Structure 1
């Protein structure tokens, strides 16, 4: 399984018991969807390694308490501490309307209500206070905040996102 075929679910943050149980902080608004998993991929030395789940349960709402097969001691748990957790993309719940996953809209076209075709989404920058669409317009990078008020429509059939940005925002990049 390759990383690009998976989505980031969370990270193992601490040990829970001396019997190899760990707590994972999940990166999701719906942790209950991931309470009864059979297996999870752990990122170990830049490789995704499947681990089979013996049991799991939600712990204090956003943490998932996990017991993996063959992780039976504190030392075993130490060996997987701080590992990132991944699941195959097909396990992501389907989103509808104007909601989308970041990976899903890469290579979508951005069109502005007033400006017309802006360009192609090459990446999403979520390292800033507000996530940004990174758009390529014939070699020029344009950044548009991923603000719900700007997003008019997400059209999955035509792979287009229609936005209405403040006047002059796009022009800033083209002068």
Structure 2
């Protein structure tokens, strides 16, 4: 399994018991959707290694308490601390309407109500307080905040996102 075929689920943040249990900080809005996992991939070096789960349960709001098979003591658990967990992309629930996963919109065209064709989404910058569409227009980068108020339609069939951004925002990048 390759990372490109998976999505990031979370990171192992601490040991929970002396019997090898671990706490995973989940990167999701719906942690309960992952409380019955049977296996995950753990990034070890440059590889994704499958680990089977004996049991798991939610611990507080976004922490998952996990007992992996063959991780039976503190030393085994210690070796997995700070490791990232991944699941195959097909585990993601299908989104509808104007909801989307960042990875799924790469390559979509962006159309603005006033401006017209803006360009093609090359990535999403989610390292800022507001996630941004990274759009290429003839070699120039345009950044548009991913804001529900700006997104009019996500057309998966035609791979187009229609937006209505504040007047002048797009032009700032082109002058």
Category of TM-score, reference length = shorter chain: over 0.9
2:44 aligns to what? 44
Shift of 1:147: 1.0
CA distance in 2, matches of 1:38, 1:32: 14
**TM value normalised by structure 1:** 0.98
**TM value normalised by structure 2:** 0.98
CA distance in 1, matches of 2:129, 2:37: 32
2:27 aligns to what? 27
1:113 aligns to what? 113
CA distance in 2, matches of 1:150, 1:95: 18
1:91 aligns to what? 91
2:136 aligns to what? 136
CA distance in 1, matches of 2:36, 2:129: 33
2:63 aligns to what? 63
CA distance in 2, matches of 1:11, 1:169: 36
CA distance in 2, matches of 1:102, 1:18: 38
SS of residue paired to 1:173: helix
CA distance in 1, matches of 2:32, 2:167: 42
Runs of 5+ in structure 2 lacking a partner? none
The RMSD of aligned alpha carbons is: 0.6
SS of residue paired to 1:144: strand
CA distance in 2, matches of 1:61, 1:127: 23
SS of residue paired to 2:55: strand
Shift of 1:142: 0.6
Shift of 1:30: 0.9
Shift of 1:61: 2.1
SS of residue paired to 1:87: strand
SS of residue paired to 1:37: coil
1:63-82 alignment to 2 at 5 Å? 63-82=63-82
What per-residue deviation string (whole Å, max 9, x for no partner) do you get for residues 84-128 of structure 1? 110000000111111110001000000001111100000000111
Shift of 1:46: 2.3
Aligned residues: 175
Runs of 5+ in structure 1 lacking a partner? none
